[in-house]
Each structure stands twice: as C-alpha cells, then as structure tokens.
Amino acid sequence: MVEMVSRPYATAFEKFAAGNPDILCLSADLTSSCEIDGFRDRYPDQFVSMGMAEQNMLSFAGGLGLAGFRPFIHTFGVFMYRRPYDQLMASIAYPRRKVRLMGFLPGVTTPGGMTHQSIEDISVMRSIPNMTILETGDATEVESICEAADSIDGPVWCRVLRGSVPRLFDTPIKVGEMRVLSEGDDILVVTAGITTEEAMRARSALANAGLSIRHIHLHTIKPFDHRQLLDHIGSVKHGVVTLENHVTEGGIGSLVAETMADAGVGKRLVRLGLKDTYAHGGSRPYLMRYYGLDALALVRGIEGLMGQEFGISENDLDAARIDDVHSLVKAEAL
Amino acid sequence: MPEPSNVSLEVLKDRAKFIRTETVRLSRIAGAGHYSSTFSCAEILSALYYSQLRIEPSRPDWDDRDRFVMSKGHAAIGLYPVLADLGYFDPAELETYTRLGSKYGDHPDMKKVRGLDFSSGSLGHGLSVGLGIALAGRVQKKNYRTYVLLGDGEMAEGQIWEAAMAAGHFKAGHLVALLDRNGLCIDGHTEDIMSIEPITDRFASFGWGVQRCDGHDLPQVLDAFARLPDGTTGKPQVIVFDTVKGRGVKRMEMSLDWHVGNLVGEDYDDVMAELDAGLKPYEVEPAE
C-alpha cells in the first residue's frame, strides 16, 4: 500500500524558507490553495500578498531578484505564464533572476476546465532561454522541490502537486538526473509527474504479459541529459512510449522525439498525452481515463507500438487511487 | 434604449431565492460549488435578467439584444438556472452539471451554453470583452447595452484598469459595469489583500458615471438600473453594489471558508430550509 503524504509542500516550504531572509514567499490570492497559509501566518515578514495581479507580481519578483532576493512565487500554473508571459520573459528570464515559479495544479489535476488547466506550460517553458524546468511526481519530490529549485542560478519553473500525494521514491530530486525505475529490454517507457504512478500501475500486468519494460521517470525536463536517454533507448529492442499530463506538442514526448531525431535513432515512438485538445472540467481519474493519460492508455500505446494485443484489461491493473477529499466542507477543488 | 420589464418585487425576490437554492442543489450534483460568490450577486442577477435586460430567449442570437458578460465566471452556477428558467434551454439539462461531456461546467462556455454571450473563468478579462462588444455595437449602429458583472477580487488585475481607461477614452456610453462588492477575495478582505477603495472615485477619474447602492435591496438595485443614462451621453457607467459574500446563509456570510464548498446531509437540508425562509436582516457578529 502506497504511503500518502498530506500537504507535503506546506511542510517542506516552511522548513526550507523559515528564517532565511533572502527567501520571500509571494502569493496572488491563492494562498491556502497553494498550501502557504501556515507560512503566511507564522512568517509574515517573509510573505508578500500581491492580490490577484500576476503581471505585477512577476515583474515585482524580477525587481526583488535584482536586489538579491530569491522570490518563490505561488499561484496556479496557468496564471503564472499565460497572462504575465511578457513579464516572465523580460523581467525574469532574460535578466536571469533567481525567481522560483511554483505552479500548482499542473495539467488535468484541477476540475476547473480550460481556464485553470496548464496543459502547454512545459512546451512554453522549454522554449524560454535561461529557464530550468522541474516536475514533481511524488511526495518526496514535492518535499525536495524547494532545495532543488533554489540550487539553480536562474529562474525555475516547477510543476507542484498539492493535497494528498503518494510517496513513490525515497531519494530527493537531483537536478539534471533521471530516475530509472525498471531496466527491461523490450520497451522504454518515459513518464513525468502524475503519469509515473500510472505507469507503475501497469507494471505487473505488462510483466505478466511477458513484456520487459524499461521505465524512466523525469523530474528534470530542462536541462536534459540526452546522452543518458539515448543509452536507455539503445537498451530496448522495440521502441519508446511517452506518457504525459500535458499536450504531446512540446512536452516530454517532443523532448524524446527531438533527442531521437537529432541522434538519428530509427526506433518507433508513441507519444501519449493530450492530443491537440483543451480538457473538460472533471475529476482527475475521470479526465485521465477520458483523455488517455492513465495506465490503461499506456498499455494500449504499448500494444500499438508492438502491433499486438496482450489481453490486458482494467481489472489486470493495480487499483487506481482515489484522492481523499480533505474535508467535506472544502472539497478538493479550485 | 432598453425598456425594463414591469416585474413585481415579489417575483424578483423569489427569483433571487431560486438562484440561491439552485446553486445549492447543483453544487450537490457536482460535489463542490462556489456558493458564497453566487449568493452575493443573486439580487443583481435576478433584477438584471428578469427586469432589465432586453432579451428574447427564443432568439439568443438576436442582433439587438442586450449583451451580458459574466466576468466573475465562477458564479456561473447561479446563471445557468436563470437561463434555463427563461427558456434558453431545458432545465433538465442541468442535471448533468459538471459531468464529463455536460455543457454546464464550473466556468461558463459560450460554445456550449445557449444564451451565454461570452466564456469566462480566468478573472480580469470581462470588462475588456464587454468594451469590445459595446464599441462593435456603436460601429454597427446598434443601441444595445453591454453589461459586465465584475467581482471585487478581480479588480486587482491590471487588465480591468486598462479596460476602464479605454472605455473612458472611447466614450463607451453603452457599457455598464456591475461590481459585486462583496468585500472578500479568496485570501481575505480585499482591503487587507489588495485595497480597491475608493472605488467609485477611481472609476470616476477614468471618465465613468458612477452609482453605489445596497446590492441585496431590490428596490435600490432597480432604481440604480433606472437611473442609467441614455448610452448617447458617452460615459461608461458603473454601479457598485455593496453586497455580502455568502448572503442568505448565516454560516457563509462573510466567511472565507465557503468560496468553494460542499453541503451534504443535514447541512444541505438546513441550508435549503434557511434559504426557503427568505433573507433575514444582515447582522454583523459583534467583535469579541
């Protein structure tokens, strides 16, 4: 049974930032939604409420960065780059300020629909010079995201999980590395964020079907160790399947495709994720099933790559985990 | 100019109650809902839709209709029942509220909802959209009004003030902003988080005509609508409605805990009974 950790970011951020006067915590009217309400109450001198004004907040953070502060900006991912994109580029990324952009509710982890789902952020951030991109896939990674981000000399985009988060790993994020979760030689599976847990759900069913899976989890998307990925691709016979909580254009599927094309690798690649579509609002397991981001979608993708069916159904997969609602009054929502 | 319908106060009160009870009912279908932000604008929506707007539900694309943009899109849960009630679509469709594939989500989608002029959900956009619609009407020699319902939290967004400046500059007399001044954003009181007062002076300085009244007192709301000048005066208009976030349900009034919530079991029944009894005078708890 997987260990579930409640609000790991709340605990980790406070432990990291408390008493460090160079760290400032910025919020845009989503303080409890980004789990920094406790920090606000206990460390008011390090907390700045900017109101619902993201453009101002980003350039303001660039100014703080010029003066030597390391601002940690908190809001939902979408609101941190769609509206204030120009401010992000000109006030933070180009001058290479040490601003840590903590983007909550990545991809379909919110029921809020199109306006609240950051489905193309990795694509956007990959194309910004000076930007580093980290994504959390479990509680240990959430617990180590602050140190990891703050080790970078420049801006860092972080996809952060909130609420009740499973613990899948026992070592912290080491920026620039990737996690090797299994070392099979038939198919390479590449996942990041919440799709890693999905791939792990399919592990035993795929093994029972006689497939030897090599599974890589990415917490660092930029910079990226292309050499190591190519070594893994060279270790499998049939090809690569990527699964991402993001559109397939510009995300980790594209990253793998570019790496293969640049090196002249002629293996098959199946990229799973949101396919040129906005997502509906709805609960996360529902959306992951509907848009083909879950364990069963991975199995079907592998079948497609192999050109054969393995007779695996939902019943053969490890049970999907349904998040606890942390209170009936304040349901996990927006 | 638009001719307000002659609807009785009793009807408007009843429709405001309907907006609140439907919000509670639909939230139960969804498992969560934006109660308090919707309750604060129930009287505004009731007066607007049942008395003020020049619309024909049988012709949602009628060129001369008044336009409405719900900039605070998270209150859509209170708008859908009104649109259904007026005949834009079958109320039974609301049983699918927020279900995958439903036309009716937490935030409103103009590509799906009959009678909805514009989508929203990302705050701060609505006043600019409304200005575009209003100026398009002027170019096309129409005399419809464009109403925009704003939340007071989103007044912190810079885009609101870009729109306010442009509306004054372009003398958009057919643009009417309705500000639901319920006092709270998600993190706390707006005046603590990012102050917006003196809000009427700010709009006035941008060239707007301003009014301010109690947004839960229907005669005052109707009177404010009646005082809107002819659009040809060239002054965009704002009505600041002083409201109470969560108005109508004691436990939610001016509470930070009910921006999003989920009433179940006895709580659901209690709240429905409280709403059914009608609005009681608003009382502020004495400070301890």
A109: CATH: 3.40.50.970
SS3 state of residue A296: helix
H or E element that contains A209: none
For tokens 């198919």, the residue is A187
Query: So what's the pLDDT on residue A320?
Result: 75
- Specify whether the CB–CB gap between B176 and B37 falls below 8 A: no
Helices B9-30, B76-85: axis angle to 10 degrees equals: 120
When pLDDT is averaged across residues A262-272 and rounded to a whole number, the result is: 98
Task: Kindly determine whether residue A329 and residue B101, on different chains, have CB atoms separated by under 8 Å.
Answer: no
Segment 106-125 of chain A within 8 Å of chain B by CB: 111-116
Put simply, whether A212 touches B (Cβ < 8 Å) is no
Residues A150 and A205 in one domain: no
The total of other beta-carbon atoms located within 10 Å of residue A265's CB is 17
Mean pLDDT, all residues of chain A: 94
When pLDDT is averaged across residues B184-198 and rounded to a whole number, the result is: 97
Q: What is the CATH number of the domain that holds A271?
A: 3.40.50.920
pLDDT above 50 for A331: no
CA distance A5 to chain B (A): 23
Query: So what's the pLDDT on residue A329?
Result: 38
CA B267, CA B247: separation in Å to the nearest integer? 16
Interface test mutation site (partner B, options A48, A52, A83, A291, max chain B beta carbons within 10 A)? A52
Q: What is the pLDDT of residues A1-40, one digit of tens each?
A: 799 999 999 999 999 999 899 999 999 999 999 999 999 9
pLDDT above 80 for A49: yes
CA distance B153 to chain A (A): 7
CA B104, CA B152: separation in Å to the nearest integer? 24
Query: So what's the pLDDT on residue B28?
Result: 94
Instruction: Tell me the residue length of chain B.
Output: 288
Task: Kindly determine whether residue B187 and residue A53, on different chains, have CB atoms separated by under 8 Å.
Answer: no
Task: Kindly determine whether residue A290 and residue B100, on different chains, have CB atoms separated by under 8 Å.
Answer: yes
Instruction: Give the residue from chain A lying closest to B96, CA to CA.
Output: A282
pLDDT above 50 for B105: yes
CA A194, CA A320: separation in Å to the nearest integer? 12
Q: What is the pLDDT of residues A216-258, one digit of tens each?
A: 999 999 999 999 999 999 999 999 999 999 999 999 999 999 9
- Specify whether the CB–CB gap between B108 and B120 falls below 8 A: yes
* Residue A240 forms part of a structural domain: yes
Query: So what's the pLDDT on residue B287?
Result: 55
Percent of chain B's residues with pLDDT above 90: 91
Task: Kindly determine whether residue B157 and residue A79, on different chains, have CB atoms separated by under 8 Å.
Answer: no
Q: Which residues, 6+ apart, have CB-to-CB distance to B33 below 8 Å? A: B23, B24, B26, B27, B77, B106, B260, B261, B262
Task: Kindly determine whether residue A51 and residue B194, on different chains, have CB atoms separated by under 8 Å.
Answer: yes
SS3 of chain B: CCCCCCCCHHHHHHHHHHHHHHHHHHHHHHCCECHHHHHCCHHHHHHHHHHHCCCCCCCCCCCCCCEEEECCHHHHHHHHHHHHHCCCCCHHHHHHCCCCCCCCCCCCCCCCCCCCCCCCCCCCCHHHHHHHHHHHHHHCCCCCCEEEEEECHHHHCHHHHHHHHHHHHCCCCCEEEEEEECCECCCCEHHHHCCCCCHHHHHHHCCCEEEEEECCCHHHHHHHHHCCCCHHHCCCEEEEEECCCCCCCHHHCCCHHHCCECCCHHHHHHHHHHHHCCCCCCCCCCCC
When pLDDT is averaged across residues A120-126 and rounded to a whole number, the result is: 98
Residues A129 and A202 in one domain: no
List C-alpha distances in Å: A303 to A181, A238, B154, B202.
Answer: 21, 11, 48, 62
Put simply, whether A44 touches B (Cβ < 8 Å) is no
pLDDT above 50 for A160: yes
Put simply, whether A322 touches B (Cβ < 8 Å) is no
Put simply, whether A66 touches B (Cβ < 8 Å) is no
Query: So what's the pLDDT on residue B286?
Result: 61
In which domain, by residue range, is A276 found?
178-314
Task: Kindly determine whether residue A115 and residue B153, on different chains, have CB atoms separated by under 8 Å.
Answer: no
Q: What is the pLDDT of residues B81-99, one digit of tens each?
A: 999 999 999 999 999 998 8
Put simply, whether A279 touches B (Cβ < 8 Å) is no
Task: Kindly determine whether residue B194 and residue A78, on different chains, have CB atoms separated by under 8 Å.
Answer: no
Query: So what's the pLDDT on residue A322?
Result: 63
Instruction: Give the residue from chain A lying closest to B194, CA to CA.
Output: A51
Residues A81 and A205 in one domain: no
Task: Kindly determine whether residue A52 and residue B153, on different chains, have CB atoms separated by under 8 Å.
Answer: yes
Mean pLDDT, all residues of chain B: 95
Task: Kindly determine whether residue A111 and residue B98, on different chains, have CB atoms separated by under 8 Å.
Answer: yes
* Residue A292 forms part of a structural domain: yes
pLDDT above 90 for A98: yes
Residues A227 and A126 in one domain: no
CA B133, CA B130: separation in Å to the nearest integer? 5
pTM of structure: 0.92
Residues A285 and A206 in one domain: yes
pLDDT above 90 for B209: yes
The total number of structural domains in chain A stands at 2
Residues A155 and A202 in one domain: no
pLDDT above 50 for A270: yes
Residues of B within 8 A of A30 (CB-CB) are 186-187
Query: So what's the pLDDT on residue A91?
Result: 97
Residues A104 and A221 in one domain: no
pLDDT above 90 for A143: yes
Q: Give CA torsion, residues A193, A329, B189, B25, to 10 deg.
A: 110
DSSP assignment, residue A315?
G
Query: So what's the pLDDT on residue A231?
Result: 98
Of A51, A282, A290, which is closest to B156 when you measure between CB atoms?
A: A51
Residues A34 and A152 in one domain: yes
Give me the residue spans of the domains in chain B: 9-277
Query: So what's the pLDDT on residue B4?
Result: 52
Of A52, A115, A282, which is closest to B156 when you measure between CB atoms?
A: A52
- A–B CB contacts, 8 A cutoff, strictly below: 105
Of B192, B258, B260, which is closest to A334 when you measure between CB atoms?
A: B260
Residues of A within 8 A of B107 (CB-CB) are 112-116, 281
CATH architecture of B9-277: 3-Layer(aba) Sandwich (3.40)
* Residue A324 forms part of a structural domain: no
Residues A210 and A122 in one domain: no
CA A167, CA A164: separation in Å to the nearest integer? 10
Put simply, whether A56 touches B (Cβ < 8 Å) is yes
CA A167, CA B38: separation in Å to the nearest integer? 38
When pLDDT is averaged across residues A260-276 and rounded to a whole number, the result is: 98
pLDDT above 80 for B6: no
- Specify whether the CB–CB gap between B183 and B244 falls below 8 A: yes
Query: So what's the pLDDT on residue B178?
Result: 98
* Residue A207 forms part of a structural domain: yes
Residues of A within 8 A of B186 (CB-CB) are 29-33
When pLDDT is averaged across residues B243-260 and rounded to a whole number, the result is: 95
Task: Kindly determine whether residue B185 and residue A29, on different chains, have CB atoms separated by under 8 Å.
Answer: yes
Interface test mutation site (partner A, options B36, B111, B157, max chain A beta carbons within 10 A)? B157
CA distance A30 to chain B (A): 6
When pLDDT is cut at 50, 70 and 90, the band that residue B285 belongs to is low
Task: Kindly determine whether residue B106 and residue A113, on different chains, have CB atoms separated by under 8 Å.
Answer: yes
Of B101, B158, B186, which is closest to A29 when you measure between CB atoms?
A: B186
Residues A185 and A209 in one domain: yes
pLDDT above 80 for B142: yes
CA distance B43 to chain A (A): 25
Task: Kindly determine whether residue A52 and residue B123, on different chains, have CB atoms separated by under 8 Å.
Answer: yes
Task: Kindly determine whether residue A282 and residue B99, on different chains, have CB atoms separated by under 8 Å.
Answer: yes
pLDDT above 70 for B109: yes
Q: Which residues, 6+ apart, have CB-to-CB distance to A50 below 8 Å? A: A26, A27, A28, A29, A56, A57, A60, B194
Residue-wise DSSP of A82-135: TTTHHHIIIIIITTT---EEEEESBTTS-TT-TTT-BSSHHHHHHTSTT-EEEE
When pLDDT is cut at 50, 70 and 90, the band that residue B232 belongs to is confident
